[in-house]
Amino acid sequence: MNVLLIGSGGREHAIAWKLAQSESLGQLYIAPGNPGTAKCGRNIAISADDTDKLLDFARQNDVGFVIVGPEAPLAAGVVDVFEAAGIKAFGPSADAAQLEADKAFAKQLMRSSAVSTAEGRIFDRFSDAKAYIASRDEAVVVKAAGLAKGKGVFVCDDPADGILAAEKIMCGKIFGSAGNKVIVEDKLLGEEASILAFVDGRNIYVMESSQDHKPIGDGDTGPNTGGMGAYSPAPVVTDDLMNQIVREILVPVVDGMNRNDTPYKGVLYAGVMITGGGPRVLEFNVRFGDPETQPVLMRLKSDLLQVCLAACDGTLDQISLEWDPRPAVCVVMASGGYPGDYEKGRKITGLEEADGMQDVVVFHAGTKGNDRDIVTNGGRVLGVTALGQTIDDAKARAYRAVDKIKFDGAYCRRDIADKAIEKCKT
């Protein structure tokens, strides 16, 4: 079967890397891809948001299955277009993708489905948001309601900072139309975990747990990013807790989507805060997380193509996934200045040496090739991912690989997986 994978980031490289291992795969096309995905299949110079050209290409090249990586094409309805043309596509419809694309929609669905989440209010006028935040005397979280590439959340211990955040989002339009509405929530205390599951509209198959590191700096300091690293599994998610998350969060949400006539198929990602009162939802994503995908798929031993097809066909109950018991750690190497302004075009060296290490894969994210070299082309440049016998071993191996890679301004956090290491000691 010929497969078209849409996207160009580290998540897509990880998906392409895993798809390339499938015995059912014919030709793998990646649009537009990156230098890493080019080693897994054939890159196609079509933008991820050019649905018409993507559909034409699929028809002309006997593509039987499409897998959509990023959230923006999903929200724009690319799955609907392919399915209307008779081509299977993995991912939710545009209506179902509102679960990520519209945080107000998600908040209302959680309320109607009795899913535990932070108390919050939705505002479409800055004056109203300002008045509400000014009335608070505790920490608030201010979120752009639309898609903001993982950067649209401001955790403000001082409500005055919350007013400034709302002003930047709603008046300054730092996230464009994604900031036409904001959600103002209570700050939840606890430890975060990322729960990803395959969903076929009826059945739910949960993947191994993981934990992302959103802030730019060690110790979870500084502004939020798209993610500076991740590890899997997350020791904070015990078997009992995972069962509770499935029972009290995933099942009610999938049922709620069916009641809304927006049945959900694809990957459902629940960002969860493990509080003293149990798991509470921070956000939903409607696709594989980035960088969680890198360590999770490093640990997946089963055929990814087959499980994605089962999710489309409604046959997840016939699938059984096998996982590598070894933990995996992904460290994101970023351009200096990210998540603010940064320069592109910096030559990257050491990639082959790092990639040649045992149980290490360097997933490309913000890179491109020129005549002879691989150069930086984004804020998050690489996701250096390693397996290890223990979480300590996986972390050490990932950072040894990181230290072999050089480019001007390269930056990474040095504490990825420390929370898991400390938890394993107790």
Question: Per-residue pLDDT tens for 26-52?
Answer: 999 999 999 999 999 999 999 999 999
Q: Band of the pLDDT at 349, cuts 50, 70, 90? A: very high
Task: Identify the DSSP state of 213.
Answer: -
Task: Report the sign of the C-alpha dihedral through residues 227, 230, 235, 240, in that order.
Answer: positive
Is pLDDT at 114 greater than 90 in this prediction?
yes
Could you say which architecture CATH assigns to the domain 125-180? 2-Layer Sandwich (3.30)
Q: Band of the pLDDT at 196, cuts 50, 70, 90? A: very high
Q: Band of the pLDDT at 423, cuts 50, 70, 90? A: confident
Is pLDDT at 117 greater than 90 in this prediction?
yes
* Whole-number Å distance between alpha carbons of 174 and 375: 27
60: amino acid identity, one letter: Q
Question: Please, what is the average pLDDT of the chain?
Answer: 96
Is pLDDT at 185 greater than 80 in this prediction?
yes
DSSP letters spanning 87-121: -EEES--TTTTHHHH-HHHHHHHHHHTT--B--EE
| Tokens coding 97 | 């993708």
- Cβ atoms of 333 and 2 within 8 Å: the answer is no
Please tell me the predicted confidence (pLDDT) of residue 424.
Answer: 84
Is pLDDT at 269 greater than 90 in this prediction?
yes
Please tell me the predicted confidence (pLDDT) of residue 14.
Answer: 98
Is pLDDT at 373 greater than 90 in this prediction?
yes
Range(s) of the chain covered by CATH 3.30.470.20? 191-318
Is pLDDT at 421 greater than 90 in this prediction?
yes
Mean pLDDT comparison of 106-110, 346-350, 371-375, highest-scoring range: 346-350
In the chain, the percentage of residues whose pLDDT exceeds 70 is 100
Range(s) of the chain covered by CATH 3.40.50.20? 2-93
Specify the 3-state DSSP secondary structure of 392. helix
Please tell me the predicted confidence (pLDDT) of residue 102.
Answer: 92
Please tell me the predicted confidence (pLDDT) of residue 411.
Answer: 98
Please tell me the predicted confidence (pLDDT) of residue 242.
Answer: 98
Q: Where does residue 371 rank: exposed (0-12), middle (13-18), buried (19+ CB within 10 A)?
A: exposed
CATH code for the domain defined by 2-93: 3.40.50.20
DSSP letters spanning 304-356: HHHHHHHHHHT-GGG----B-SS-EEEEEEE-TTTTS------B-B-HHHHHT
Specify the 3-state DSSP secondary structure of 193. strand
Range(s) of the chain covered by CATH 3.90.600.10? 328-425
Is pLDDT at 419 greater than 90 in this prediction?
yes
Please tell me the predicted confidence (pLDDT) of residue 190.
Answer: 94
Task: Report the sign of the C-alpha dihedral through residues 267, 37, 291, 233, in that order.
Answer: positive
Could you say which architecture CATH assigns to the domain 191-318? 2-Layer Sandwich (3.30)
Query: Cis before residue 252, ω within 30 degrees of 0?
Result: no
Range(s) of the chain covered by CATH 3.30.1490? 125-180
- Cβ atoms of 178 and 146 within 8 Å: the answer is yes
Is pLDDT at 116 greater than 80 in this prediction?
yes
Q: What is the pLDDT of residues 272-303, one digit of tens each?
A: 999 999 999 999 999 999 999 999 999 999 99
Please tell me the predicted confidence (pLDDT) of residue 372.
Answer: 87
Residue with tokens 């750690």: 329
Q: What is the pLDDT of residues 148-182, one digit of tens each?
A: 877 888 999 999 999 999 999 999 999 999 999 99
Could you say which architecture CATH assigns to the domain 328-425? Alpha-Beta Complex (3.90)
Among 151, 68, 146, residue whose Cα is nearest residue 101: 146
